[in-house]
Amino acid sequence: MQQVIDARIKEQSWIRKFLSIAALSIFLLWLSPLVVSVLTFGSCLLLNINLTAGRVFTAIATFRILQVPLRQFPQNMTQVAQALVALKRLLTFFQSGEVDLMAVERIEGGAADFAVAVHVSFKHFLVTFSFHGF
């Protein structure tokens, strides 16, 4: 029982670190359009570049267009990494000795045969992986 408690404490510390880094990342990414705008227009003022309404509007519109993809990129990378870890764990589990071979139906074939990743019907559970990365 102590091993389970120790594992949970260790997991909690890792989750706390992950969420702290994620919060800092989100804060900085939401702050970045403001910082970029201030630095850009501040540089223009220091270099005596004439800021017309057209230039300011174009710059702000460009910053706004780039803001959403820049904010979503780290979150998307995190989700991809988490999905790959989950798939690796599932693949390891389904190939382990814990799975009753009589309860698992394996379908031989190439990647073209795997149109359905998970199919559940009437107590049958079928999992197929069409990637060979792990």
Mind listing the pLDDT tens digit for each residue in 9-30? 999 999 999 899 888 988 887 8
Residue 43 lies in a domain: yes
Residue 41 burial (C-beta neighbours within 10 Å; 0-12, 13-18, 19+): middle
Residue 132 lies in a domain: no
Mind listing the pLDDT tens digit for each residue in 26-36? 888 788 888 88
Residue 133 lies in a domain: no
Number of domain units in the chain = 1
Q: Look up the pTM and report it.
A: 0.47
**Whose structure tokens read 């988490």?**
82
Torsions phi, psi for 66 (to 5 deg): -80, -15
Q: Which of 29, 27, 23 is nearest to 70 (CA)?
A: 29
Describe the crossing of helices 53-94 and 2-46 by its angle, rounded to 10 degrees.
160
- Compute CA 21 distance to the chain's CA centroid, rounded to the nearest angstrom: 14
Mind listing the pLDDT tens digit for each residue in 82-133? 999 998 888 888 777 776 767 766 666 555 555 555 555 555 555 555 555 4
Q: What is the pLDDT of residue 32?
A: 82
